[in-house]
Structure 1
Amino acid sequence: MKNLPKVSISGELLKWARKTRFGGDIEEASKKLKVTKEQIISWESQGTNMTAPEIRKLSKVYKRSETVFLLKTVPKSQEPPKFRRFLLEEAMLSKDTLMVMRKAQETQISTIDLLGEIDNILLNTLAPHKKDSDLLASKTIEALKINYELRFSSKNTKEQLQQWKRLLESNNVMVLEYSFPLTDARAFTIYNESIPVIILNSRDTDNGRAFSLFHEFGHLLLQQSELDVEMTLDYTKSIADELFCNQISANILVPSDLLKQKVLAGIIDESQVKDLAKKFKVSTSVIWRRLYDNKLISESQYNKVLSKLSTFEPYKIEKSKKKFGANKNTHLYKKIRNMGELAIGATLEAFNSNRISHYEVLSYLGIQSVALPRLQRILFT
């Protein structure tokens, strides 16, 4: 075991691998690798030489392929997202959130490889209207063919959210759902002109995710990769683009014409607001805001309820749901939530048309061979 050959590892690669796994936390990386922080800093500043077993350990801790560490520079396709308001390395994000970002990027890249650099008709159609949030929301409803039945036929927000997600994915906007700390983000986007991605946080409420979905879609229309921690409907606290995306989401979810149709004559009270929220499958805070936007309540009425609405907070922490016995398809439904129907559908279609091998489809999807026919049935029947 002595005198094993060593290969040169780039300091830039080592720093990238550590930051995209542990963020700015050198301490945890040093514990996992069983080396000092000073050693890691030295590696990253000037590079180092490592044996195959050392590279294997590095690969396991940083969750990167061993071959990646043999490259001279960070692979272009695996550079971390460049968020508009801060650099990823400056954000104090948990390793869970960083891993979700990596998985989302990998899913996006694989899907683009399978579908090619296609024209995103939806984004291109809406691009000329992106200076006017009201018009853009109206054009989005028109482009997505959101009719009365689609909006009001579902039983609850959970069902409606699934419809909204499918609607966007059928137009080549990927929608993924992962669990990560809400203190890191409620949702984020990775922009691409062909196949952009929206990532929702499954720890958020159903109402929260529905609002986040179209808020993030607004960022994609502005061609932005964005990480959103808080989405307040108190517009005095919002910066311009956040306000714009809030308005798009609120207008899509609760259009003015339909709201006015549903509002009952007389004084608008909490009971009617709750009823409207249930009909539109949004939070009461969104309804109050839309009532104010449409001059159906006064500014004093709105300000009175604003301070009382818990749903104006960044998120609501819910008690963990009890886990019951899972059936053999539970992990496949989770896989669909994580990767989205667009990505999984593209992968299965590539396999069914013999464009990728049996090994490749299992590798892309991260499943065992026995689960493949079950996944096909779930998605295509």
Structure 2
Amino acid sequence: MTRVPVQPALFVWARQRARMDEAVLAARFPQLPGWEAGETHPTLRQLEHYAQATHAPLGYFFLPAPPQEALPIPDFRTLRQGLPRLSADLLDVIYTCQTRQTWYRDEAVIHGETPLPFVGSATLATPATEAAQLIRQTLGFSVDARRECPSWAEALRLFIAQAEQAGVMVMVSGVVMNNNMRHLDPQEFRGFVLADALAPLVFINGADSKAAQMFTLAHELAHLWLGQTALSDAAMVETSNHAIETWCNRVAAELLVPQTEFRAALQRDEALDLALQRLARHFKVSTLVLLRRMLDVGWLDRNAFWGAYRAEEARLKALAMRNTGGGDFYRTTVARVSKRFAQTLVASTLEGRTLYRDAFRMLGIAKPSTFNELGRTLGFPT
């Protein structure tokens, strides 16, 4: 039987890139330890299966050494220290979103759409309060409107809808495409933005807590106002090595919780837990955002902030784990690809400008019946 000579390091590279446990892979590929040790080689069929299992391009296994993959967009993350190499999941999500953006931009050009004036309309010299106000005005995003929402999770849905109405595709997903076996890791990234005046796109890691997702969206919108494509963790950290990240964090915090109104809402000597509950109802944002603002205005010192922040983060994660339920597939798919993108793509496909094959690929679906039902969910008489 013909064996394919593959450098042992490539098997290790593919396993680490896929973030897959060695024991799990070895159970599926019993000869993997021998491959990684260079003691034996796989057949072509075995190699094809291994490449598919690790989401690695087959051709890479014929290289003399593991490739040095680079992110296709600027990296502004602060959580990446100590993490292994770039994951296949992150790279595949970025490439997928770039494909969607390219398609949408071409469609916008065909229809003669004009560039969105807010993309790149701010600079790092723009005060955070001013930039936040510009975003607030463009989106119609206000504390009063959010206060009418029954929960801050509903306020997040309103926030996304307002961003999409302004022209931004907002994609929220915790998996690669619709593959529920490929979960995205919030420790690797929380979101990214692909800046473009005709087809701006924000991706939010849906595997992250709902508490973090609102801040991520606000943070990525700040990047968009700078006209800056970026991958970020959007963490509400005290400092950042990047001036751009620091500025975007400040704008996001001001957008969600205006400092002047926040100061007026604080009550002297109120217990922290009671204050968080009351202010969360008032501003309809997560308690993590509120804790950050308490630090900003001096209501909490640094030690008190970090202690409260870590405790609250743990509480929210535990709460999220207890509320992991299924949902409607079609509504979930729309959220994953953005309603704006889905509506435009379905319309283009039904009108014959886009091949069904290409539409299926960008939506992550395989059956015409699924496409038709998705169209009906979006209001199309398919």
- The within-5 A match list for 1:247-326 is 247-259=250-262, 263=265, 267=268, 269-270=270-271, 271-287=274-290, 289-290=292-293, 293=296, 299=298, 302=301, 306=305, 309-310=308-309, 316-319=316-319, 320-321=321-322
* CA pair 276-85 structure 1, distance change in 2 beyond 3 A: closer
- Which amino acid letter does the alignment assign opposite residue 219 of structure 2? H
Q: Give the length in aligned residue pairs.
A: 357
Q: CA deviation at 1:156?
A: 0.9
Deviations 1:139-165 (A, max 9, x none): 211222324653333211111111212
CA 1:311–1:177: 2 relative to 1, 3 Å: farther
What amino acid maps onto 1:198 in structure 2? Answer: F
| 1:332 equivalent in structure 2 | 330
Q: TM-score when scaled to structure 1?
A: 0.71
- Give me the whole-angstrom Cα distance separating, in 2, the residues matched to 1:147 and 1:214: 13
- Contact 1:183–1:229 (CA<8 Å) still a contact in 2? no
Task: Name the SS for the 1:22 alignment partner.
Answer: coil
**Residue 251 (structure 1) shift:** 0.4
User: Are the equivalent residues in 2 in contact too, given 1:215–1:249 (CA < 8 A)?
Assistant: yes
- 8 Å contact from structure 1 (residues 168, 175) kept in 2: no
Instruction: Give the 3-state SS of the residue equivalent to 1:189 in structure 2.
Output: strand
Q: 1:164 matched to which residue of 2?
A: 159
Aligned to 2:180: none
2:187 maps to: 184
Aligned to 1:140: 135
- SS class of match (1:137): helix
Residue number in structure 1 paired with 2:97: 108
Shift of 1:249: 1.3
Q: Which letter maps to 1:136? A: A
Contact between 1:178 and 1:337, CA under 8 Å: does it hold in 2?
Answer: no
Q: How many Å separate the matches in 1 of 2:280 and 2:323?
A: 27
Q: Deviations over 1:222-269 (max 9, x none)?
A: 52533428433xx3x554544323211110011235446x638x6362
Confirm or deny: 8 A CA contact 1:285 1:311 kept in the other structure.
no
Question: Structure 1 CA distance, aligned partners of 2:16 and 2:95?
Answer: 17
Amino acid paired to 2:372: P
Could you give the per-residue CA deviations for residues 87-133 of structure 1, whole angstroms, max 9, x where no partner exists?
Answer: 9897337xxx9354244224313312321367862653533466532
User: Structure 2 length as normaliser, TM-score?
Assistant: 0.71
Distance 1:169 1:74 in 2: 40
Q: What's the CA shift string for 1:196-245, capped at 9, x where partnerless?
A: 433224341x332212221233345552533428433xx3x554544323
Distance 1:10 1:353 in 2: 49
Question: Residues 206-245 of structure 1 correspond to what in structure 2 (within 5 A)?
Answer: 206-221=210-225, 223=228, 225-228=230-233, 230-232=235-237, 235=238, 237-239=239-241, 241=243, 242-245=245-248
Q: Which runs of 5+ in 2 are unaligned?
A: 109-113, 176-182
Unpaired segments of 5 or more residues in structure 1?
44-48
Correspondence for 1:53 among 35, 45, 50: 45
| 1:357 aligned residue | 355
Indicate conservation of the 8 Å contact 1:120/1:195, yes or no: no
Distance 1:113 1:78 in 2: 20
User: Which residue number corresponds to residue 147 of structure 2?
Assistant: 152
> What percentage of residue pairs aligned between the two structures are identical?
17
